[in-house]
Amino acid sequence: MKTFILSLFITLTLSASAINHHQIKIIEKIFSEISISTELKIWSDNKKLLSELKKCTKFITVENPKDATMIILEDRDNLSKEVLSKSIFVLNYNLLSKIPKSFGALFWKKGRPNIVIIKPRIETQSIEISQALHPYLEERVW
């Protein structure tokens, strides 16, 4: 647990300088601690993120959002109807409010990386998280 938090924190801290690269690393860590009821197939509207995740052997990525079981969303405009039923992880805190289906977010606040996972939403969507992510659980979106 401690090791995870430390490594995550180091990654988070480092991510501030080269956000794209480290954002990917943090997301990889977050998703390696998450499990959903079906096979994890990731799609993202951030093409760079998707191509990086593709290189990672731990995850299955898909080109078509329809085939995905997990959506990583950066821009709300890219949210089509067909993905509304899927689990959504956002890259902007405000999207948590705007997209009720979204269960978590990774975003930068005052230069620091922040993670929020909304507890009621993961429970509704049968998303399980490991102990390592518990410090980031929130009951609601503020």
Nearer to other proteins, 77 or 111 (CB): 111
Find the shortest distance in angstroms from Cβ 111 to other proteins. 4
How many Cα atoms sit within 13 Å of 17 on the Cβ side?
Answer: 4
Nearer to other proteins, 36 or 122 (CB): 122
Which spans of this chain sit near other proteins (rule: CB under 8 A)? 9, 12-14, 16-17, 93, 108-116, 135-136, 138, 142
Q: How many residues does the chain have?
A: 142
Nearer to other proteins, 61 or 102 (CB): 102
Distance in angstroms (rounded) separating the CA atoms of residues 46 and 43: 9
Find the shortest distance in angstroms from Cβ 55 to other proteins. 25
Tokens of 97: 């409010």
Find the shortest distance in angstroms from Cβ 63 to other proteins. 33
Find the shortest distance in angstroms from Cβ 84 to other proteins. 24
Question: Angle at Cα 76 formed by Cα 73 and Cα 78, nearest 5°?
Answer: 75
Write the DSSP assignment of 101-142 as a string of letters.
TEEEEEEEETTEEEEEEEHHHHHHTT-EE-GGGGGGEESS--
Nearer to other proteins, 5 or 56 (CB): 5
